[in-house]
Amino acid sequence: MNPGFSERTRKKIDKIVARYPQKEAAILPLLHITQQEFGFISPDSEKQIAEILGIKPIRVREVVTFYTMLNREPVGKYYIQVCSNLSCALLGSEKLIDYLKGKLGIEPGQTTKDKKFTLSLVECLGACEQAPCMMVNFDYYGNLDKKKIDKILDGLE
């Protein structure tokens, strides 16, 4: 069981909940906070959120399973999301994905043994002018080629 939210986070949460005329509307903001604090959404976290909002845990589960950005399993320190949508595909994202698979030794959806990297294939990231592009955690990287990928990943501790 995770320790739950810190006192400081609880205060932040109370402020967020107060924005909405119906408490449930704060589910997504609270899930974002949870993922930021604990790295993923565990069943314990779902219960904690449900308790704060006065709803059943299944209501939180329903939401968690709908949105692709919410992880129900722990991910690596660096979460790599590579765009595989059209503009990136036109400019060679498929080859880069193969390169990343080989470099990291994992398939999309998997995490390296040292828990450093998780590789994920995603749809359009909204940075098509920089295609092919990817995100590492919340940082965008564009105009990628193999060299640039090496430089980015090798620079991460």
Partner 1 sequence: MAEQVLTQHFGLVNFYKIDEYVKKGGYEAVRKALQMKPEEILEEVKKANLRGRGGAGFPAGVKWGFVPKVDKPKYLCVNADEGEPGTFKDRYIMNHNPHMLLEGIIITSFCVDIHTAFIYIRGEYEAIALRLEEAISDAYDKGFLGKNILNSGFALDVFVHRGAGAYICGEETALLESLEGKRGNPRLKPPFPASVGLFQCPTVINNVETLSNVPQIMLKGADWFVGKGLPKDGGTRIFGVSGMVEKPGIYELPIGTTLKEIINKYAGGVKKGKKLKAVIPGGMSAPVLKADEIDIPMDFDSLVNAKSMLGSAAIIVIDTGTSMLDVLKAVTKFYSHESCGQCTPCRIGTSWINKIVKRMIEGKGSKKDLDEIVRLSSNILGNTLCPMGDAAAMPILSITKKFRKELESNL
Contact between 152 and partner 1 per CB under 8 A? no
The whole-angstrom separation of Cα 92 and Cα 54 is 48
**Contact between 91 and partner 1 (CB under 8 A)?**
yes
Give 134's strand partners. 82, 141
Size of the site for partner 1 (CB under 8 A): 40
User: Residue 102, interface with partner 1 (CB under 8 A)?
Assistant: no
| Nearest approach, Cβ of residue 123 and partner 1 (Å) | 5
Question: Contacting partner 1 (CB under 8 A), which of 34, 45, 48, 85?
Answer: 85
Q: Which is nearer to partner 1, 22 or 155 (CB)?
A: 22
Site for partner 1 in 14-33 (CB under 8 A): 19, 21-22, 24-29, 31-32
- C-beta of 58 vs 156, nearer to partner 1: 58
What are 26-34's contacts with CB under 8 Å, separation 24+? 26/53, 27/53, 27/59, 27/60, 27/63, 28/63, 28/67, 31/60, 31/63, 31/64, 31/67, 31/70, 33/5, 33/9
